[in-house]
Amino acid sequence: MKQIVFTAAILLVGICPAIAKDHTAEQQLLDTAQKPADLFQGKADPFDLEIDFSAQWNVPTRGHFSLNWKSKDQWRSKVEIGGFEQITIQNGEMQYILRNLGFTPISIRELFNLLHFMNSPPHFVATKLKNRAENDVSMSCVQAEREDYRNDSHEFCLDAASHELLSDDWQIAPDERAREQFSDYSEFDGIRYPTKLRLFENGGSEISAALISLQNAVFSPGLLVAPKGAIERRHCPGIKSPVAIKQPEPTPGTHGYSGDSTVSMTVLTDGSVDDIHLISRGGHVIEIPQWPR
């Protein structure tokens, strides 16, 4: 009789459903990692930001970025590097861009991504936590996937003591990786923001940025006056693309690589397009097609 009861207990255990792992702690760490982005997402008081940076333009080239910020829909920025200059003004739904080239170089977009500027960071879902040490620093590394695109996996590493984000590592192509690094955090109006930021691709340095100044300031209405000759765009909240563009099948010689790239363009009144520039890319193997004008 004892043997029968024991066997029945084993069968009951075997049919019990597996208990899903609770990733609440990992998710809390991950949400903490994106706190620096709050500088451009929820900051209430106007501020001025100055950053010196170096980007890889065949050779390392020095540049400067300045920002006058009032709110998410009212700000003015200016970026200069290697003879390139761009002024961007956001005033409500209207955005004005004045630059001395017909496009925004990808390195400038990568700088904005590094700063979490001009884009809301995507939401990631934590899947695993690993603790390790690097350069004598104890780290909590959270593996996560984008909520809206599960093929985009990242590893966010935080300082185990301060919970400050140290790095964000992800794959950008089958044999390519990217890594953002953040260090030397400083306190500003209740927010911890890194004063040194770097972007690496395949181990090589692409962008190195250093915070020069970050301070509260008075925002002048004159900063929102569009400069003469600026491109004018209207950004409507919640707008969606009216058509879906089907990704073409790989052609011979492309090795079957694929990826997602985001392109911004202005549709003119005659139906042609202008002011085309790359916002994000799936990797070096993804190229921008020649769009008709």
pLDDT of residue 268: 62
Residue 240 domain flag: no
207 part of a folded domain: yes
C-alpha to C-alpha distance for 242 and 195, rounded to whole angstroms? 41
51 CB burial (10 A radius; 0-12, 13-18, 19+): buried
**Can you list the residues of the chain whose pLDDT is less than 50?**
1-20, 241-247, 254-257, 282-293
Check residue 237 and give its pLDDT: 60
The Cα 177–Cα 199 span in angstroms is 11
Q: What is the largest CA-CA distance in the chain?
A: 94
3-class DSSP assignment, residue 200: strand
Q: Is residue 212 part of a domain?
A: yes
Amino acid letter, residue 248: P
What would the pLDDT profile of 94-124 be if each residue is shown by its tens digit? 999 999 988 888 899 999 999 988 777 788 8
Number of H helices, E strands in the chain: 4, 15
Distance CA 72, CA 60 (A): 31
Q: What is the CATH number of the domain that holds 142?
A: 2.50.20.10
The whole-number pLDDT of residue 1 equals 45
For the chain, how many structural domains are there in total?
1
Cβ atoms of 262 and 279 closer than 8 Å? yes
Q: Which domain holds residue 209?
A: 24-224
Report the DSSP pairing between strands 262-267 and 273-280.
antiparallel
Instruction: Evaluate whether 29 touches 37 at the Cβ level (below 8 Å).
Output: no
47 occurs within a structural domain: yes
Select from 179, 116, 166, 121 the least CA-distant residue to 140.
166
Q: Three-class SS of residue 8?
A: helix
Judge whether 254 lies within some domain. no
Instruction: Identify the CA nearest to 211 among candidates 41, 39, 65, 43.
Output: 65
Q: Tokens 């089907």, residue?
A: 246
Contact predicate 57/63, CB 8 Å = no
- Using DSSP's 3-state secondary structure scheme, residue 90 falls into strand
